[in-house]
Structure 1
Amino acid sequence: MSAKGGGMTGRGLAGGVTRIGVTGHRVLPDAVRSAVREGMRGLLGGEAELLTSLAAGADQLCADLALAAGARVTAVIPGTDYEAQFEDAAALASYHRLLARCTTRVDLPAEPSPEAAYDMAGRWVVDHCGLLVAVWDGRPARGRGGTAEVVEYARANGRRVTVLWPPGILRD
């Protein structure tokens, strides 16, 4: 199923489905990956739908975990030449593999820059989820549309936010 920039509203679906949005860093230390696996296991019980842009790192890890748990996954594709933004072939191949397994694909309208497109995708995810999972080191954003900005937007709009990042672990 495909949608153009909208179609889904609200924080949940009929029948008690929980919409879980994902935001997070692209480079994840092994200790963070373990914490995400453990944290997501507790969130994916029952009916769940994951909203993700399938970016390298946190998004792809969470999508894999959701699919393994039998959850639905909605791909939220930023309005840019998204595939050209992947920095390595393995991440792009993983993106294609996961995209093929998604229940729904939402293609967002074109934006003037990749950063603006990421910002819009993050806001879309927040606007359509009941819970935002942030695989985030707690540090300020390094650019527009980054994890910290998405978390700030979610909190400002009253969304529940769960941060999955072990204390003392540095990203770089």
Structure 2
Amino acid sequence: MEHWRRELPTGPQLYGVSSLAEGADQLFAAHVLAVGGALEAILPSAGYASSLSSDGGRARLEELRRAAATVITLPSSKPDGQAFLTAGQVLVDRCDHLLAVWDGQPARGQGGTADVVAYARSCGRPVTVLWVDGVLRA
């Protein structure tokens, strides 16, 4: 009797894509790496770190960027709303399923979570929104 053997894929089973923004994006990226997944970073522009609000966020960005399997820096000249929107669209185009930590409110600026979720839905990409009822955005 001949035995059939299935070849298992090599490399990480989890592949996460993130723009490495402060907060949930960086937390997601860190967890992808912590469980042995591969991380792809989509940076909205050169100089993206300057748009982050804290030294800690900039340090985590650099640490995660170095740990990423792939880093794509988009050609925008500065980190602004259009660059963030484009990065969100590229992220959606490169993922199979979007996980969004989102309170369901409109974006605070162009390229915010609401814009990225709307784009994903318009593309037919599955979206899972993670939010605890009653929690307010800071």
- TM range, normalised to the smaller chain? 0.7 to 0.9
Q: When the two structures are superposed, what TM-score results if normalisation uses the length of structure 2?
A: 0.88
| Counterpart amino acid of residue 108 in structure 1 | L
| Contact 1:80–1:114 (CA under 8 A) maintained in structure 2 | no
Q: Which residues of 2 match residues 56-75 of structure 1 at below 5 A?
A: 56-75=22-41
| Contact 2:48–2:79 (CA under 8 A) maintained in structure 1 | no
| Contact 1:79–1:111 (CA under 8 A) maintained in structure 2 | yes
In percent, how many aligned pairs have the same letter? 43
| Counterpart amino acid of residue 105 in structure 2 | R
Aligned length: 130
Q: When the two structures are superposed, what TM-score results if normalisation uses the length of structure 1?
A: 0.71
Deviation at residue 118 of structure 1 after TM alignment: 0.2
Q: Which residues of 2 match residues 97-112 of structure 1 at below 5 A?
A: 97-111=63-77
Report SS of the residue matched to 2:98: strand
Larger relative contact order (C-alpha < 8 A, sep ≥ 6)?
1
Deviation at residue 79 of structure 1 after TM alignment: 2.2
Separation in structure 2 between the aligned mates of residue 66 and residue 80 of structure 1, nearest angstrom: 24
Given candidates 122, 126, 134, the residue that maps to 1:168 is 134
Structure 2 residue aligned with 1:88:
54
| Contact 1:115–1:143 (CA under 8 A) maintained in structure 2 | yes
Deviation at residue 73 of structure 1 after TM alignment: 0.1
Report SS of the residue matched to 2:41: strand
Structure 2 residue aligned with 1:76:
42
Gaps of 5+ in 1: 1-14, 18-45
Q: Structure 1: which 4+ aligned runs deviate by more than 2 Å?
A: none
Given candidates 105, 108, 111, the residue that maps to 1:145 is 111
| Counterpart amino acid of residue 26 in structure 2 | Q
